[in-house]
Structure 1
Amino acid sequence: MNKKTQVSIIVPTKNEEGNILRCIRSIRQQKFDGTLEIILVDNNSEDKTVEIAKKLVDKIIIAGPERSTQRNVGAKSAHGDWLLFLDADMELSRNVIEECLSLTKNRIVTPIITITEQGKGATFWGKALALERNCYQYTFWLQAARFFPKKFFLKVGGYDVNLVAGEDWDITERFRNEGLPNLYTKHSYLTHHEPQTSLFELLKKEMLYIKHIDKYAKKHPLSFSYQGSLLYRMFLWTRHWGELLRHPILTTAFFSYKLLVWFMWQWHRRKFETRNVNN
């Protein structure tokens, strides 16, 4: 009897009671020839995340302080031949794992897989950011891989725990540097549910990201010259001009939002450079 391929799905969480049930249900609905393991790695949630998940997952681990550590802890405890990393605000279409596994078959070199993402928002700003996210499908620089062979994941050392931002881009690039091809799903996707928060809260999160992205930028300067470029993103937007014109208000909103974030980044960078000069 042939061994069934086992896939371990690792979900790091922190106060995700509003998202986790939807995420797990989409995992349980996967149809493929193999076995499935769900590992939830929770960073001391203060809400009902663990209570909701405990009857629906195979293992719950308490670990932190950041996503990279949570993911690595989950990977080390996983029994699967393949690892899929999801965030709690993500939802899989029914055949994601089946397509990912099919992409790995009959390959001379084992690949890593980027699952095509589509954004979905429930609020005005959520819809605006979802529209932007959908402009980045199948882009080499901006969409990170999520499906990895476990033995190679452990070989490259997993996610870089020194990175709080850009850690998903980083591990994708390290796999590519090891010679593993990066393939993309074409018939299945994951839905990324945008946060249902105010503009102020969104900008607070962006500022936190900006403060931590420097480490990634120094580690991968060439990649970040694209990933952090407003002009590059504007080029990607123009490829979807038809869809953007159908939603002029949302388009104007996310244009303005990205411009504001860019100014925040420039201000932070100049402040950082000035501080270094003075020191």
Structure 2
Amino acid sequence: MNGKELVSVIIPTRNSEKTLPICLASVRNQTYRNVEVIVVDNFSSDRTVEIAKDYGAKVYIKGYERSFQKNYGAMKAHGKYLYFIDADFYLHPKLIEEAINKMKEGYDALIVLNISDPRPSLWAKVRHYERLSYYGSGIYEAARFMRKEIFLKAGGFDTKLYANEDYDLHERLLKMGVKIGRTRYFEIHLGEPKSLREVVVKNYYYGKSLAKYFTKNPKVAHLSPVRRTFLRREIIKLLSLNSFYIIYLIIFLKFVQSVAAFLGLLFRKSLTPYVSYSRE
């Protein structure tokens, strides 16, 4: 397309019909047009696959876990660049255009600013400010837009990880000496928790693979429940006196997540993993 290099946007899905239309519409509305969308679905029981096809995505059915799904999507991708997103992301219209321009400056991979939609609940608002505090700190940031050749050289995502697979890949990219930049434009994460129970359930599940992640990455600051980024001057300025309590709630939320993840790690042997299947 006009000599422009192809970008492959890879989206793992599982029962994602509520947010996938918003996600795919935001990809369709990008100012950079030479994009292919690859949806790798984990046997959804809702309209996810139908929606993906309606938006012109290439759809593959591949089970087990999202790391495996994303690796499979990368294998099927034809683009020079890979961009990994979730089905509950909304992209700024100029995001991919900016990413391409950054790559032309000599970067091999990019960290894309990911912010949380604060509207669904109090906990979503807490997550919104938490994520803002990380920007530019090197904590809880991972490159997800990269050259395909770099992704393959790094070995892709670790399929034994149920969570933190993007941070694990990022650590390997750093060890490889890959030149990593960051975008100014952002993604919005729509799937924020509506209740504390959702936070507990999600992190309990993620805790299943923590032992593997700790073994590979023993020095990971983003797993600490209390982080100095919460008190960055920029964040404090964002919070009025009436909202300063958000900082305390951020710390409380991180403790809840840590406890839930630890319990998931402790009882991981009692949990049954998905069975791996595939269908094209």
Instruction: Give the secondary-structure state (helix, strand or coil) at the position aligned to 1:230.
Output: coil
Counterparts of 2:156 and 2:58 in 1: how far apart (Å)? 20
Q: CA shift at 1:195, angstroms? A: 2.7
AA aligned to 2:229 is L
Alignment pair present for 1:68 and 2:76: no
- The secondary structure found in structure 1 opposite 2:54 is coil
Residue in structure 2 matched with residue 248 of structure 1 by the alignment: 244
Letter paired with 1:12 = P
Shift of 1:8: 0.5
Quick check: 40-49 or 135-144, which moved more?
135-144
> Within 5 Å, which residues of 2 pair with 1:78-89?
78-89=77-88
**Do residues 153 (structure 1) and 151 (structure 2) align?**
yes
Find the residue that maps to 1:11 and give its secondary structure: strand
Work out which of the residue numbers 213, 218, 224 in structure 2 matches 1:229.
224
Bigger mean CA deviation after superposition, 137-146 or 39-48: 137-146
CA distances 1:82-123 after superposition (whole Å, capped 9, x unpaired): 00000011111011111111111142xx42001111111322
SS of 1:116 mapped into structure 2? strand
Distance 1:255 1:244, change over 3 A: farther
2: distance between equivalents of 1:229 and 1:69? Answer: 27
Name the counterpart of 1:276: none
Alignment match, 1:133:
131
TM (norm. structure 1) is 0.87
Deviations 1:151-210 (A, max 9, x none): 121222211111112110011111121111110112x11111243432112211111222
CA distances 1:24-60 after superposition (whole Å, capped 9, x unpaired)? 011011112x511001100001111112221103300
| Aligned counterparts of 2:55 and 2:240: Cα–Cα separation in 1 | 42
Which amino acid in structure 2 is aligned with residue 134 of structure 1? L
Answer yes or no: is 1:238 the counterpart of 2:231.
yes
Alignment partner of 1:184 out of 182, 185, 189: 182
Q: Does 1:199 align with 2:196?
A: yes
User: CA 1:158–1:268 in structure 2 vs 1: closer, same or farther (change >3 Å)?
Assistant: closer
The answer to whether structure 1 residue 113 and structure 2 residue 106 are counterparts is no
1:218 to 215, 218, 229: 215
- Contact 1:72–1:159 at 8 Å: present in 2 too? yes
Taking the aligned partners of 1:57 and 1:139, their CA distance within structure 2 comes to 37
Sequence identity of aligned pairs in percent?
35
One-letter amino acid matched to 1:105: K
Structure with higher RCO (Cα < 8 A, 6+ apart): 2
Q: CA deviation digits over 1:186-245, x for unaligned, max 9?
A: 2x11111243432112211111222322211110112x2x121233x2x10100122234
1:260 is matched with 256
- The residue aligned with 1:277 is none
Q: Which moved more, 1:210-219 or 1:259-268?
A: 259-268
RMSD: 2.1
Q: What is the TM-score normalised by the length of structure 2? A: 0.87
Preserved CA contact (<8 Å) 2:204 2:263: no
1:35 maps to: 34
Q: Which amino acid aligns with 2:4?
A: K
Structure 2 unaligned regions, length at least 5: 268-280
Judging changes above 3 Å, is the alpha-carbon distance between structure 1 residues 267 and 4 closer, same or farther for their aligned structure 2 residues? closer
Q: Give 2:170's aligned residue.
A: 172
Aligned mates of 2:71, 2:6 — CA distance in 1: 18
Match of 1:208 in 2: 205
- Report the 3-state secondary structure (helix = DSSP H, G, I; strand = E; otherwise coil) of the residue aligned with 1:12: strand
Is the CA contact 2:43–2:62 (under 8 Å) kept in the aligned structure 1? yes
SS at match of 1:184: strand
- Provide the C-alpha distance between the structure 1 equivalents of 2:26 and 2:2, rounded to a whole number of angstroms: 27
Taking the aligned partners of 1:152 and 1:123, their CA distance within structure 2 comes to 38
Q: Which of 132-141 and 255-264 deviates more?
A: 255-264
Offset of residue 76 of structure 1: 0.6
Whether contact under 8 Å (1:245, 1:251) holds in the other structure is no
1:275 corresponds in structure 2 to none
